[in-house]
């Protein structure tokens, strides 16, 4: 574990694997993929690429990311294509580096994790949870200008839309999501 920490700074291998949904070499072997393989495999209905180090990198789907960006609540603080909140940086593909390692994107999120989690709790009533595949898809969406052109307020679920508009109307929106869940 120590060599991984040295290689990637303060993030542990377990944290990155959990955060990005990477499988262990043992899990890959159980799925019938040998280490060192560069075969594309199917798991959880998504394609993954087996890397020589025994890591499986998920395929990234920007269309799924567009839906998740809204449904998970990222849009409450971040905007894309002029749609969304202004409490955090806009995530337009035009402002992204032309070529970006998705691990770097995740590392930048991790750097701001404490503030981001606090804002999520204030705005959404809880911390957002991601699977590795969901995060991969959201990262793909933030880097895909064509998919971002399709993004509009129509993509935002009603409960998230209420939070977004409450924030724009000057209401703090605190616990609106939590309150709507208990009313069900």
Query: pLDDT digits over 107-163, tens only?
Result: 999 999 999 999 999 988 999 999 999 999 999 999 999 999 999 999 999 999 998
105's tokens: 């994107």
Gyration radius of the chain's alpha carbons:
18
The verdict on pTM exceeding 0.75 is: no
Question: What's the whole-number average pLDDT of the chain?
Answer: 75
pLDDT of residue 54: 82
Tens digits of per-residue pLDDT, 93-107? 999 998 989 999 999
| Residue 62 scores a pLDDT above 60 | yes
């Amino acid at each position: 574990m120590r060599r991984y920490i040295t290689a990637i700074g303060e993030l542990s291998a377990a944290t990155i694997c959990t955060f990005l949904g990477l499988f262990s070499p043992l899990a890959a072997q159980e799925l019938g993929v040998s280490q060192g393989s560069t075969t594309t495999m199917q798991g959880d209905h998504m394609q993954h690429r087996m890397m020589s180090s025994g890591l499986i990198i998920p395929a990234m789907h920007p269309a799924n990311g567009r839906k998740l960006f809204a449904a998970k609540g990222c849009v409450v603080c971040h905007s894309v294509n002029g749609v969304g909140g202004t409490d955090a940086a806009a995530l337009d593909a035009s402002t992204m580096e032309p070529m970006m390692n998705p691990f770097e994107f995740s590392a930048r999120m991790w750097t701001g994790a404490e503030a981001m989690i606090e804002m999520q709790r204030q705005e959404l009533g809880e911390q957002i949870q991601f699977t590795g595949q969901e995060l991969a898809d959201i990262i793909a969406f933030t880097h895909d200008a064509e998919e971002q052109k399709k993004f509009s307020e129509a993509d935002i679920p009603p409960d998230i839309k209420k939070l977004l508009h409450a924030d724009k109307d000057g209401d703090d929106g605190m616990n609106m999501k939590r309150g709507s869940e208990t009313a069900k």
